Amino acid sequence: MSQILRDDKLDLRPTSGSEQFIGFAVFFDAERVGTIVLVPAPGKHGKHEGSVRWNLSEGPGQALAAKILTMAIDYAFAELNWTRIETRIEEGNDADWRAASLSGMRKEGVLRQPEPKPTQMLLARVSTDPPVLSKQGFVAILNAGLPRKRVIAQGLLRNELGEYLLCELTYKNEWDLPGGVIENGEAPGVGLTRELEEELGVTLPAGELVTMNWLPAWRAWDDACLFVFELGTVHNGLVESMRLQESEIAAVHWCDLARARLHATGATIELLEALEAGPLPPYREAPVQPE
């Protein structure tokens, strides 16, 4: 049986102890306010890893709930020798989300569920995380919960006739400018050069930024910030030496605006039309495209 955990007016009193779970009844100022349970992970991982679940009344509030969680997590690390503890919180449960964050648990991902079950957020804390109240710990927790905005970099590559290079993609019907999604920690210009090398087999450093184009959500794609760079003018025959990444690029085509209107994505057409009408502002927002 586990020990009683105390902190000022807060008591976590053991209710059960087994290989399957370790439960506590939670008392604040001698009044029972809920329960919290530590569950070892299945198999050999259960020696060092587990999860936490809790059911608290609305009375304690988020600050006290976070303190209760912190006590249970500290116990798991110090007494059970766990090195990682996680929890799953239903999307929209802001109270539990806030309590878990205040206890030092960081968002790690999204767990989809078949309808009508709600999506779950996965949060976790490991024993080597910095103290929650330290500057480093606070920044790490805050950063883990911030939105992740998708960033794309594309380039304007022209031939002697002023035609634009468009890529025929394997995963959608519409053609698009060369480029792709930027990886975490990667600068957009660097990412564009990498994408061109991977997908087209050419090295073309990103030139000046033409514009930053915000793309609203479209079909199954989330919204994104699109950085459009100049890639300069090259000889028409460059396409013959390109080594296309077959899993993503079916073909490449030189297109004037008329041909682009027949094949390109709506956002690309709108961008090229605006570009040919005059200089683009540093920041712009693409209109919502039809499905």
Dump the DSSP string for 110-179.
Answer: EE---TTSPPEEEEEEETTSPPTTSHHHHHHHHHHHS---EEEEEEEEE-TT-PEEEEEESSSSSEE-SE
Q: Are 13 and 35 in contact (CB under 8 A)?
A: no
Sign of CA dihedral 280, 193, 264, 149: negative
Q: Are 71 and 12 in contact (CB under 8 A)?
A: yes
Residue 81 structure tokens: 């020798």
What's the CA gap between 70 and 86, in Å, rounded? 12
Dump the DSSP string for 222-258.
Answer: PPEEEEEEEEEE--GGGGGG----TTTEEEEEEE-HH
Ramachandran region of residue 163, left (φ > 0), alpha (ψ -120 to 50) or beta? Answer: beta
Q: Looking at residue 96, what is its pLDDT?
A: 92
Q: Looking at residue 75, what is its pLDDT?
A: 95
What's the CA gap between 211 and 180, in Å, rounded? 16
Q: Looking at residue 138, what is its pLDDT?
A: 83
Cβ neighbours of 284 (radius 10 Å): 15
Domains of the chain, CATH where assigned: 5-145 (3.40.630.30), 150-285 (3.90.79.10)
Tens-digit pLDDT string for the chain (291 aa): 568 899 988 999 999 766 688 999 999 998 999 999 999 999 989 899 999 999 998 666 778 999 999 999 999 999 999 999 999 999 989 889 989 998 999 999 999 999 999 999 999 999 999 988 888 888 888 888 777 789 999 999 999 999 999 999 998 899 999 999 999 889 999 999 999 999 999 999 999 999 999 999 888 788 999 999 999 999 999 999 999 999 999 999 999 999 999 999 999 999 999 999 989 999 999 888 877
Q: Are 14 and 2 in contact (CB under 8 A)?
A: yes
pTM for the predicted model, two decimal places: 0.72
Q: Are 89 and 79 in contact (CB under 8 A)?
A: no
Query: Judging by DSSP bridges, how do beta strands 283-285 and 209-215 pair with one another?
Result: parallel
Residue 257 structure tokens: 């605006």
What's the CA gap between 103 and 161, in Å, rounded? 61
